[in-house]
Amino acid sequence: MNRKTVFWFTAIAVALIFGVSAAAIAAVKLKWGATSVRSGLYANTVALGGVVNKALPNDLQVTVVETGGFVENLARIQKKSIQLGPADASAAYAAYKGIIDYKGKEMPDLRSLWGGYVTPIHIVTAKKSGVTTLEGLNGLSFAMNPGTTSGRVIELYFDALGIKPNYKMMGLAASVDAMKAGVVDGWFKAGFKDAAIMDLESTMDINIIPITKESIDKMNQKYPRHGLSMSVPAGLFKALAKEQLSFAYVVSDFVHREVPDDVVYKIVKAVYEHRNEIVGSLSTLKEGRFADMYQMAIDFNLGVPFHPGAAKFYQETLKVTLPADLIAPK
């Protein structure tokens, strides 16, 4: 009897003594990257991982791992230090294709799990600036938050439109203070009913700049699959007197292509079957339509192909014919 055989007999014996099944010992262990624990989005991944663990206690063991956020997750999936994690879908597409800021740094091993959830990015100006249009942002002192997902896409958006604000680089918290102090007259913030914007409105008058479908089309001509938008309702903030179009991005979850098909199938099935329960307690997922797991991929032009395990689930369960660009290469 070799050492490996002895190890497994011993492990199973110990498990039986302590009431743990042999199946639990053999469960596939996965690391699911999240964000910083200080981010409100960390709870989303915890909820998803919890649902999978509860639904499949003998098959999968998911551990949620704190990371530096969406950009880091893509690199970590490619390197296999985590097996799956959330990221901005447009950045994932750029990484998968090796284009834009990922030129020469392509990540061909990325695969999608679902369409994700959409989040608006509000472009804010101080009322006293008089700026109420995108064109008015030219030359305006504007807080930029480098290294953030929303900062990346907003900078690309402005670049595609030829808009050149006077960027002032700073962190998220500093941006709120800079707006209040008049150090900058413009900023942007992702989130549906965002607390930072509500904080601004408690001390100053602001404008929230509407965007146009034409500007989104123009962005997509220069930066494919990066121009996204959504309608935000009147009354969401005091500054929104009527419904208007907002820039947006979509957060999806991605997985390494080498994760076995049956494992991914089980993950997608567990989340799909509990999707209404998940979004019921998490406003970002509810407002962002996460429950429409497949349709979101179609509506927001997801560019990274589904993992074959996910594709199989949608084809069997929803009886859909996948678009060619969502079918993974062999």
Where do the domains of the chain lie, and which CATH numbers do they carry? 3-117+251-326 (3.40.190.10), 120-249 (3.40.190.10)
pTM: 0.89
Nearest residue to 259 via CA among 29, 35, 103: 29
Provide the 8-state DSSP code for 204: S
Long-range CB pairs of 51-56 (<8 Å, 24+ gap) are 51/270, 51/271, 51/274, 51/277, 51/278, 52/266, 52/267, 52/270, 52/271, 55/270, 55/273, 55/274, 56/27, 56/266, 56/270
Q: Which string of DSSP letters, residue by residue, matches 15-77?
A: HHHTT--HHHHTPEEEEEE---TTSTTHHHHHHHHHHHHHH-TTTEEEEEE--S-HHHHHHHH
Nearest residue to 149 via CA among 95, 206, 193: 95
Distance CA(149)–CA(172), nearest Å, equals 12
Distance CA(19)–CA(73), nearest Å, equals 36
Nearest residue to 265 via CA among 311, 324, 298, 320: 311
| Bridge partners, 244 (sequence order) | 232
Per-residue pLDDT of the chain (330 residues; tens, 9 = 90+): 555 444 444 444 444 444 444 444 568 999 999 999 988 899 999 999 999 999 999 999 999 999 999 999 999 999 999 999 999 999 999 999 999 999 999 999 999 999 999 999 999 999 999 999 999 999 999 999 998 999 999 999 999 999 999 999 999 889 999 999 999 999 999 999 999 999 999 999 999 999 999 999 999 999 999 999 999 999 999 999 999 999 999 999 999 999 999 999 999 999 999 999 999 989 999 999 999 999 999 999 999 999 999 999 999 999 999 999 999 998
Q: In sequence order, which residues have a C-beta less than 8 Å from that of residue 186 and are 6 or more positions away? A: 123, 124, 125, 126, 129, 131, 137, 140, 141, 142, 143, 165
Q: 39, 69 in Cβ contact below 8 A?
A: yes
